Amino acid sequence: MKKTILFSTVLISLLLSCKKKDSNTSDDNNSQPSPSNPVNANTLSDIDGNIYKTITIGTQTWMAENLKVTKYNDGTAITNVSDGGSWSNLTTGAYSWYNNDISNKATYGALYNWHAVNTQKLCPKGWHVPSDEDWTKLETYLANNGYNYDGSNSTTNVRAKIAKALAEKSGWTADASAGAVGNSDYATYRNKSGFAGLPGGFRADNGTFNYVGEYSIWWSASEENPNCAWYRDITYNNPMVDRAYGFKKNGFYVRCIKD
């Protein structure tokens, strides 16, 4: 099964076309006290009127669904780009639905390039696209507070065992690897955080759509270099959350976090 994981990692790395840089440790142990009720549900609306569930995990409040807005928070329309060639040449913000099929909106939300993220107007006012540091804080909290699939706590390799706790229980391609998102083992840890990640695939920088049912990839607001920005992904055959960077032209999903 390790061969399957390695093959998938290499293949997605080629599709995203940017040097991958995994980092499984954190300098921020974030040893927050676990609240008596660490997960609390609420709602949030965007400028289009879409309503989202939100979830409080540790001291952070996140959207528990992917963003699907088609306007920036100042009312300006975000460009919808369906043509693959046009998508690959973009240097400004844009979005699409997976496979250019609006029926995917309700389930997966919208795929945005990083140029849209970088406007800092993508999320509802009072919310923002999480930075790389915001993601690390979430991961560290989960790893330190019993959200690893085997119930352990960890201050190193914080991403190694938390993907199951972030992933919705259904919709994922099945896989038999221990603790993997697509494995029904460790049932009480499946979506334990309430984050409810779904495998909506992604749009590569060349405009092609890939891997629905297998991958969920979310942008961070943090730039790595003039061409690339950081993201997080979870995969059907892997128990860990991956931290990497990819071309800004890629189309990934967005979760907003409260300011």
Residue 138 in tokens:
């979430």
pLDDT on residue 155: 77
Given a cut of 50, whether residue 112 has pLDDT beyond it is: yes
| Domain segments of the chain as ranges | 2-258
Residue bearing the bigger pLDDT, 86 or 8? 86
| Average of per-residue pLDDT across 125-141 | 98
pLDDT on residue 20: 56
CB 154 within 8 A of CB 238: no
| Average of per-residue pLDDT across 48-60 | 97
pLDDT on residue 6: 34
> Could you report the per-residue pLDDT of 174-208, keeping only the tens digit for each?
999 999 999 999 999 999 999 999 999 999 999 99
Question: Mean pLDDT score of the chain, rounded to an integer?
Answer: 89
> Could you report the per-residue pLDDT of 147-168, keeping only the tens digit for each?
999 999 987 899 999 999 999 9
| Average of per-residue pLDDT across 232-242 | 98
pLDDT on residue 232: 98
Q: Which residue has the tokens 């190193």?
A: 156
| Average of per-residue pLDDT across 118-140 | 98
- The dihedral region occupied by 223, where left means phi > 0, alpha psi between -120 and 50, and beta the remainder, is beta
Given a cut of 80, whether residue 255 has pLDDT beyond it is: yes
Burial class (CB in 10 A: 0-12, 13-18, 19+), 43: exposed
